[in-house]
Structure 1
Amino acid sequence: MAGSHKVSGHRRAGGRAVAAGRQRRRSRAKSGIAVAVFLLVLLTAGTGWVYIQLDGNIETFGADEISDNRPPASANGSNVLVIGTDARTDGNSGLGGGNKSDIGRSDTAFLLHVFADRKHAVAVSIPRDTLVNIPACKLPDGSWTSPQTNTMFNAAYSVGRSARGNPACTQNTVEKLTGLRVDHTVVVDFTGFARMTEAVGGVQVCLPQDIYQKDLNPHRPTLGDQIFAKGPQTVSGQRALDYVRIRHGIGDGSDMGRIKRQQAFVAALLRKIRSDGMSPTSLLPLANAATESLTVDPGLGSAQKLISFAMSLRNVDLRNTKFVTLPWRYQGARVAIVHPDAEALWSALKADHTLDGQDAGGHHAEQASNPSPSPNTPESVSGSGISVAVVNATTITGLATRAADALKQHGFTVTGTATAHSQDHQMTVITYGPGSNTRATTLARLFPGAELQPSTASGVSVILGTAYAATPATTASAAPTALPSTVAGGARSADDDPCSDLSYG
């Protein structure tokens, strides 16, 4: 990919250049490796020679490939996009099968939100077949594509059909989808996954039934040999890859079931790393195996940067590390996002609220000592003397009317409601003309996460994004609320028993 480079200035032996082709058999890459990398690399800090060895392993993609039209940075935690790619180069074809001349795809991806208290984390899996809008992305020749609508999510990684993939385009897509700023992006391939599982001596998994070769390859004419036995067992290397790739003949046979199995596997990998102890001697082989197959954004492009970020995660507890899936439903053979549940999830993370609705922003003591309404609560907002125009920039019917009713309850004068020409806004934007800054700031207290933008037009307007559907002004409160059961009900903790909830296989 244009702009990609090794931190040390040299390329991996063998290279990654391959001819473009159409992939016939998609193998699901493994998610969550970056989380483990951070946990283990931080423990090697203090052994300076490790920096030299790991620096030579890390590859980066160009910062100029990231969109300029991004959500604003936030102090409410940090977000890491983890992409699993099934590229067939650098030894990956021997592990994953498929056509060596094909490009890789982001068949596994999740957004890891690390809360501001550095004690909680949530990993949100984004199904590869999810229908999304892909924004403009940079091509290897330096030009930019036109935005795409209603397109499969994993197509973003293949934009440009480069042998190295397009992680920046996937990052741009996730930011557009969620309204959250992605602070870091990490890409892991087959080789890194296999070597990591071997470096820790295997990972415990649990299967609800015996698994045979035909379950892994449904095109086989016969059942074949047994490759997994029913019950708990330890897997590594190729067997670990086989476990996370199986779809047919196990669970409901879907990619969605496989996502839950991959979440359980990552949880088990994290537990294994923690249980093995935290000495540099045991962790160096793991760190080396992981970083050899990483591609990261420039912000993590050295061992020192990785360690610095990892140090911020040292207090995240396994019990408070949750795995969920973007709210979804089938739309034919594809996956559609469920609204407004998805917006509720993104809004909660943006506000640093955990899945059960608790504030993880580090303000617990302050809230406990000040139970009365603060100046920022909706109850204390007065819109007396402030006129507002309300514009619905979404496809959600009646959203402008709902917002207008809420504003009137707080004394605002609503000058009118309208529908925007563009109806794909995720974030809510408040525009204000000369001399209206104070009025706009007051209005913003009813729209958590809204972006304030000055305008040459007079007056104040609120342009509603889909995030508002999850946090309407009529119900906004200083006390956080729990997410819909469709989001939180299926969450898995990193310390859960690997044999629990085996409905997914």
Structure 2
Amino acid sequence: MTQTPEAPAERTRRKGRAARGDTGRRGARRRRRGRLRFGLAAGLAFLVLVTAGAGWVYLRLSGNIDTFGADGVSKNRPDADASKGENVLVIGTDARTGGNSELGGGDKSDVGRSDTAFLLHVYADHEHAVGVSVPRDTLVTIPPCKLPDGTWSETRTGVMFNAAYSTGETAEGNPACTQNTVEKLTGLRVDHTVVVDFKGFSQLTDVVGGVKVCLPQDVYQNDLNPNRATRGKLLFEKGEQTVSGQRALDYVRIRHGIGDGSDIGRIKRQQAFVSSLIKKIKDDGFTPTKLLPLADAATKSMTVDPGLGSADKLLKFAMTLKDVDLHNTKFVTIPWKYDGDRVAVVQPDADALWAALKDDRTLDGKDAGAKNGGKAAASPTPSPTVQEVSGAGVSVAVYNGTMTKGLASTAAEALTDHDFTVTGTANAAAQDHATTTIEYGPGQRTDAEEVARLFPDAEVRAADTEGIAVVLGADYTGSASPSPAPTSVPSGVAEDARSADEDLCSNLSYG
């Protein structure tokens, strides 16, 4: 075969390569290493920038977060290991500071008050959750709480729930006292407490681009403020619409002019609003571009317990909620009834609800205590649990209404064992009582019901006297022990529950 003669220039380059031998390969390796070092340096630089950016984000978010002191939290608390799930107390406050007065928070020199509150129970499977609203007019026992001068208040009985937040009469309020009160009321450990103010709530609704709501009728200015002399301008038209900022705040605060004008009706609308807000956040997705503005607005609006007092703790907790299904997110109101113009807790229904949450049982009786997809509770039915009875700060007189000697002393000993103060024992005016009765004076019903838990089947009734008196009947056998908590949630509580995916325009008014 005839070969094509090499060009002089090509021949010269070939001889040069042959003469260099391994030296050329080493040069190529050096060039490759150079490119590798440049790529590695660029990657490290990118990593540093990303890390620095994340650090800046965390510093920014952490700088937004205010915490309240843990020294105000009661030392006498429910067992931390009693439930596998987590309990988060959410308080909406009309604190007068930080620009809130301009949004309807009132006089800056006034005392901060809680406007709404609910206990969110996140089940251990992180697929179910239930929020239990506590009306602000609910009559409760407020345990000792820390005051601004470092002393502790006395136990107060038969007072409104929102008085706990005002304990100490400071402009910023007392979230630790509200937490103590909820733990006393429920027997559940509150793992975290979050306080959201008017201004922060308003900004949060702006960041998400508004929240869908539904009005059963047209709403005017005097529906928000009944003290107005005229109807005022139209605030909301009847039907479905999107609200944000001040309009969102006005919506959740409407009480008069819708339904029966009660706080219970407003709670239902607030539950609908929170449901709609959760749905909007989940629909937008848990992406950095969506979450950063949301986290920035949220952290600016909140005061939290020290356990959530940094960005990483707060975001880590928030991410545990991302798999909670909308349909499995329920809202209920504590079992209640009217007591005059106040709200009384209905027993044993309330204790049944707390027992279910403690055992991680859903409202329909499923076991959500682990990643089991919410399977029905295994048979046989769990044994009834006994919730602790605490009589700290409660005084009781005991009377023997039977012919059995020593019965009053026996009951008094049992009461003392549960920290009640027995003021005296004596025979009743008559010794023919068939059933035990517990009589109470004004404002003492809650404490009387706590006493009644040691005397199953006792009748609890109001009397024209001061204090609490136990009149023993023939049904008292000489032993007093806490009655077992019911093992299922009453049907009325479950039927009244609202799911986060429920129709916006359904079930918005009580009465």
Q: Does 1:470 align with 2:470?
A: no
Structure 1 position 313, deviation (Å): 2.2
Q: Give the AA of the match of 2:278.
A: L
The answer as to 2:205 corresponding to 1:202 is no
What is the one-letter code of the residue matched to 2:334? L
Q: Cα gap change, 1:280/1:428 in structure 2, threshold over 3 Å: closer, same or farther?
A: farther
Alpha-carbon deviation of 1:359?
1.2
Write out per-residue CA displacement over residues 122-175 of structure 1, whole angstroms, 9 at most, x where no aligned residue.
100000010000001111111111111111110011111112211101100100
Question: Aligned residue for 1:249?
Answer: 257
Residue type of the alignment partner of 2:59: I
The answer as to whether partners of 2:268 and 2:508 remain within 8 angstroms in 1 is no
Correspondence 1:495 to 2:501 = yes
Q: Does 1:278 align with 2:286?
A: yes
Residue 333 to residue 367, structure 1, CA distance change in 2 (3 Å)? closer
1:377 CA drift (Å): 5.6
Question: 1:334-349, aligned counterparts within 5 Å?
Answer: 334-349=342-357
Q: Report the structure number with the largest CA radius of gyration.
A: 2
Residues 288 and 424 from structure 1, CA distance in 2 versus in 1: closer, same or farther, beyond 3 angstroms? farther
How far apart, CA to CA, are the structure 2 residues paired with 1:275 and 1:311? 15
How big is each residue's C-alpha offset from its partner over 1:276-314, in whole Å with a ceiling of 9 and x where there is no partner? 222211221221111112111110000011122223222
Q: For each residue in 1:47-90, what CA deviation from the matched residue of structure 2 results, as whole angstroms up to 9, or x when unmatched?
A: 44321110000011111111100010134201011111101211
The residue that corresponds to 2:229 in the other structure is 221
Three-state SS of the structure 2 residue aligned to 1:274 is: helix
For residues 376 and 263 of structure 2, what CA distance do their matches in structure 1 show?
44
Deviation at 1:503, TM superposition (A): 3.3
Write the distance in 1 (CA, Å) between the matches of 2:175 and 2:168.
11
Pick closer, same or farther for the CA change 1:503–1:169 going to 2, 3 Å. Answer: closer
Could you tell which deviates more after superposition, 311-320 or 136-145?
A: 311-320
Structure 1 residue 106 displacement after superposition = 1.0
Which residue of 2 is the match for residue 68 of structure 1? 75
SS of residue in 2 equivalent to 1:292: helix
Query: Counterparts of 2:246 and 2:193 in 1: how far apart (Å)?
Result: 26
Q: Distance in 2 between matches of 1:84 and 1:347?
A: 26
Runs of 4+ deviating beyond 3 Å: 46-49, 363-371, 390-395, 416-419, 423-430, 461-465, 502-505
Any gaps of 5 or more consecutive residues in structure 1?
Answer: 1-45, 379-389, 396-415, 431-460
TM-score computed with the length of structure 2 as normaliser: 0.70
Flag the 1:366–1:337 CA change in 2: closer, same or farther, 3 A: closer
Alignment of 1:378-393 (within 5 A): none
- Tell me, in whole angstroms, the C-alpha distance in 1 between the residues paired with 2:368 and 2:451: 22
- Return the offset for 1:222: 1.5
C-alpha deviation, 1:240, in angstroms:
0.4
| In 1: Cα distance, 2:264 partner to 2:58 partner | 38
> Are the structure 2 counterparts of residues 425 and 58 from structure 1 closer, same or farther at C-alpha, using a change threshold of 3 Å?
farther
Matches of 1:232 and 1:316 in 2, distance apart? 26
Alpha-carbon distance between aligned partners in 2 of 1:148 and 1:169, rounded to the nearest angstrom: 12
1:223–1:75 Cα change, 3 Å: closer
Equivalent-residue separation in structure 1 for 2:383 and 2:211 (angstroms)? 47
8 Å contact from structure 1 (residues 391, 463) kept in 2: no
Tell me, in whole angstroms, the C-alpha distance in 2 between the residues paired with 1:232 and 1:123: 24
| Distance change (3 Å), C-alpha of 1:279 and 1:311 | closer
CA RMSD, Structure 1 to Structure 2 (Å):
3.2
Establish whether residue 53 from structure 1 lines up as the match of residue 60 from structure 2.
yes
Query: 2 CA distance for matches of 1:502 and 1:59?
Result: 34
Q: Structure 2 vs 1, CA of residues 377 and 269 (structure 1 numbering), >3 Å: closer, same or farther?
A: closer
Kept in 2: contact 1:324–1:492 (CA 8 A): yes
Q: Distance in 2 between matches of 1:391 and 1:127?
A: 23
2:86 paired with 1:78:
yes
Q: Paired residue for 1:11?
A: none
How far apart in 2 are the matches of 1:391 and 1:249? 41
Contact 1:393 1:425 in 2 (8 A): no
Q: Contact 2:389/2:453 (CA < 8 Å) preserved in 1?
A: no
Q: How far, CA to CA, are the matches of 1:462 and 1:296 in structure 2?
A: 44
Q: Secondary structure at the match of 1:329?
A: strand
Q: How many angstroms apart in 2 are the aligned matches of 1:420 and 1:307?
A: 46
**Separation in 2 of the partners of 1:392 and 1:57?**
39
Query: 1:81·1:112 contact (CA, 8 Å) conserved in 2?
Result: yes
* Residue of 228, 242, 247 corresponding to 1:234: 242
**Deviation at 1:221?**
1.6
Kept after mapping to 1: 8 A contact 2:389/2:450: no
* Percent identity between the two aligned chains: 66
Structure 2 residues not aligned, in runs of 5+: 1-52, 395-409, 421-446, 455-477
